[in-house]
Amino acid sequence: MKKRDKIASFLLSYTLLVMTSYASPVVSLPSPGLNLLSRAAMIKPVASETSISFMVWLKLRNKKALDQLVQDVYDVHSSRYHQFLTYATYEKEFAPSSEAEKAVQKFFISHGMQTQVINHGIRVMGTAAQIKQALQVQMNYYKYQNETVYANSTAPTLTPEIAQYVSEISGLSTIPEFRSNLESVNSNKNKTYHNLNFIWRNFAPYAIPTDISLQGFSGANLQKTYGLANIPTINGVHLDGAGQTLIVVDKCGSNGPAAILSDANQYFNGNGITPFNTAGPGKNFAVINPDGTPFITCPGGSSFSREIVLDVEASHTIAPADNTVLVLGTDQKTTLIATISNLTQNNYTIAGFPNAYVISNSWSGPESSLDSALESALQVAAASGISVDFSSGDCGDNTYPTSTKCTGTWPGPLQVNYPSSSAYVTAVGATAVFVDSTYRYAFETVWGKVKTISGTLSYDGGTGGGVSQLVSHVNWQDSITGFTAGGYGLISSNGNRRAVPDVAMLGDPTTGLLIIAEGQPVQDGGTSLACPLFSATLVLVNQARNLLNKGTPIGHAAPYLYQRNQQLLSSRSINLIIPPAVIISGATTPPFTTIQGTPTPASAFTINNDTFGWDSALTLEPEAQFWNDSVGVGSPNLPNFVITMANM
């Protein structure tokens, strides 16, 4: 080789070495739903010219200061107790900076994409080819649960200069992350009822229990069971939710606003409950998009139609004079984040209704990764005094498959649901409620079912709970760190993490609510029923606080349930979920001793082939401690709970 060629070769090698050594590194970003690709089958790449819209979520500033604020506003010993975050302070100290917004916009615009700032997030529109160039991801079509979806094949990446501002990117995948926590049964209405006789240990039922609740609860009967008429008046005012607003966030379904309104009012009129009105001086109901505009129709529809009517009918049963705002979107996470942002910006007014401090969410999915953008929004909500409630899930500890929607594999890892495991929400589990012949409350037991499927005894769903693998311990749960969580052992021995659920209400579909859906009566339940019932209870608490001139809403409810537990128990504000210990007649012991290696709880019982109190790995009887991983601290005794919470 000539000397000149050797020099040229050396220079080329040196240039490549320098380029390799000093090439800009990239940072992988969280991409919600990416883990679900393992259950999908690739079809083909997305065409390069296909347009795709996605969200770039920006990081909050001063995160440690915000963490401390959230802790202080729920600490009765802190000088900042109930001094909730204002929007002005949020913008000044914690919101993403304009510098971050401009830098991120500039990056995507430089790749030929369109951008728009929405509530401190960046909406980006670009082609599959532009996305591949900017984020280094391949967009493909996949088959997922018999539907065609698109998704990014790997996590998106950004240079450190831009990644420093970004918490995550969502919307690259249309694989649904969350599902409804709705369960249904065939109605047994008008069947003959029988007394249930047990021997109880350290407990006496509040009335003589019967199996009449297996017919399902009408709205009027549920109001009686929960004692709404017995809630003490304040300054002569009956507590019914008047002047308060409850928000329900759901994925949109095939039923439009007219169908939702028709079903709800058929149910309300049949139960003597104030109907919904969408116009005029008596307006108390609105269906809106995440941006506040009137909702018209759902692109493509979904299976959430029954969920939607259950949520609005159940919640308005407990707070029949409140305003209800149903916020619908194609993606629950983005819808919830937008709703929280709109509330804080608009002085907790939505769709023209004031005092909107409670948000009910009856959806979740098995915990796989924390959603950083959603966590930021939920933390801001808690700091601002907004109550965000989530159903804890309908698949127990997620280790059992069922014929319907539980996808665990036995024996599999114990797993809770998210977002109910977030430290900034109240997780609501579900119970079966038993009453006397006049629907007076008698007792509750854990919702957990077993039935024969294809000749084999199988788990058939139940209240979700356990210990998070991702969410760190929260100070307000200090009182239960030595408690046992079913198959987890001592909570403190598992990294001392967030435990769920926090509280429980009616949810077992066998004792479910008789709602109206598509013009027909159906008996529905699940933690999807329990969550709106509890959210509506908090609406009553906020009405009471307003009448007592407390000056603030109750906010994030879960901390009170632990830090003030003795006060709640001593005032009989909480019903401990005490199952029968020994069965005498009217019910029998279950016809099995184990299922897939898990012993049948001693307190489980069977009525007419329906098994109650079978809680998969959650086997601890709750009388041994005031909390367990099926029902949390228990269920609210509404006449006492509302007043006690209002005075905190």
pLDDT tens string 26-45? 899 988 878 889 889 999 99
Q: Which of 175, 205, 227 is the last residue of a domain?
A: 175
pLDDT at site 485: 86
More confident call, 20 vs 307: 307
Residue carrying the six token digits 């065409």: 47
Split at pLDDT 50, 70, 90, the class of 584 is low
Count the helices and strands in the chain (H runs, E runs). 15, 35
Same-domain check for residues 206 and 146: no
* Rg value, the chain, Cα: 26
Weakest mean pLDDT among 7-11, 181-185, 207-211, 382-386: 7-11
Within a domain: residue 71?
Answer: no
**And the tokens for 459?**
């788990």
**And the tokens for 291?**
């941006």
Identify the bridge partners of residue 307 per DSSP, sorted by sequence position: none
Same-domain check for residues 494 and 370: yes
More confident call, 10 vs 304: 304
Range with the largest mean pLDDT of 204-213, 571-580, 591-600:
204-213
Same-domain check for residues 492 and 417: yes
Split at pLDDT 50, 70, 90, the class of 488 is confident
Amino acid at the residue 107: F
Would the pLDDT of 22 be above 50? no
Residue carrying the six token digits 């409804």: 180
Greatest Cα pair distance in the chain:
105
Continuous segment of H or E residues that includes residue 450: strand 448-453
Same-domain check for residues 391 and 441: yes
The mean per-residue pLDDT over the stretch 578-596 comes to 67
Split at pLDDT 50, 70, 90, the class of 69 is very high
**And the tokens for 78?**
């802190």
Give the residue numbers spanning the domain of 568. Answer: 183-646
**And the tokens for 189?**
């209405």
The mean per-residue pLDDT over the stretch 512-524 comes to 96
Would the pLDDT of 17 be above 60? no
Would the pLDDT of 406 be above 90? no
More confident call, 490 vs 69: 69
pLDDT at site 537: 98
Within a domain: residue 373?
Answer: yes
> pLDDT digit string (tens) for 209-251?
999 999 999 999 999 999 999 999 999 999 999 999 999 999 9
Q: Which whole-number Å values give the CA distances from 58 to 102, 290, 399, 485, in the listed order?
A: 11, 19, 35, 36
pLDDT at site 579: 62
Q: Which of 154, 175, 196 is the last residue of a domain?
A: 175
pLDDT at site 24: 58
pLDDT at site 121: 95
Q: Which of 139, 155, 175 is the last residue of a domain?
A: 175
Within a domain: residue 515?
Answer: yes
The contacts of residue 98 (CB under 8 Å, 6+ apart) are none
Within a domain: residue 70?
Answer: no
Split at pLDDT 50, 70, 90, the class of 605 is confident
Would the pLDDT of 3 be above 50? no
Split at pLDDT 50, 70, 90, the class of 452 is low
Would the pLDDT of 571 be above 70? yes
User: Sign of the C-alpha dihedral, residues 572, 575, 581, 583?
Assistant: positive
Same-domain check for residues 535 and 472: yes
Burial class (CB in 10 A: 0-12, 13-18, 19+), 489: exposed
Same-domain check for residues 556 and 456: yes
Give the count of alpha carbons within 13 A of 231, CB side only.
29
Q: Is 646 helix (H, G, I), strand (E, B) or coil?
A: helix
Within a domain: residue 296?
Answer: yes
User: Sign of the C-alpha dihedral, residues 577, 581, 585, 591?
Assistant: positive
Say how far apart CA 231 and CA 241 lie, in whole Å.
12
Q: In percent, how much of the chain has pLDDT > 70?
A: 90
Which domain CATH number covers 509?
3.40.50.200
Model-level pTM? 0.93
Q: Is 361 helix (H, G, I), strand (E, B) or coil?
A: strand
Would the pLDDT of 130 be above 70? yes
Chain centroid, CA 243 distance in Å = 25
DSSP 195: B
Split at pLDDT 50, 70, 90, the class of 128 is very high
**And the tokens for 182?**
């709705």
Same-domain check for residues 398 and 510: yes
> pLDDT digit string (tens) for 342-374?
999 999 999 999 999 999 999 999 898 789 999
Same-domain check for residues 523 and 598: yes
H, E, C per residue of 92-123: HHHCCCHHHHHHHHHHHHHCCCEEEEECCEEE
Continuous segment of H or E residues that includes residue 270: helix 257-271
Q: At what angle do helices 527-547 and 638-646 cross, to 10 degrees?
A: 50
pLDDT at site 203: 74
Same-domain check for residues 152 and 224: no
The mean per-residue pLDDT over the stretch 106-116 comes to 98
Residue carrying the six token digits 């305003």: 323
DSSP 89: H
Same-domain check for residues 455 and 322: yes
pLDDT at site 13: 45
Same-domain check for residues 323 and 428: yes
Number of residues that make up the chain? 648
pLDDT at site 258: 97
Same-domain check for residues 134 and 207: no
Q: How many domains does the chain have?
A: 2
Q: Which whole-number Å values give the CA distances from 393 to 357, 390, 398, 417, 465, in the listed order?
A: 23, 9, 9, 6, 8
Weakest mean pLDDT among 126-130, 163-167, 409-413, 519-523: 409-413
Q: Within a 10 A sphere around the Cβ of 180, how many other Cβ atoms?
A: 26
pLDDT at site 404: 65
Within a domain: residue 65?
Answer: no
On average, the pLDDT of the chain sits at 90
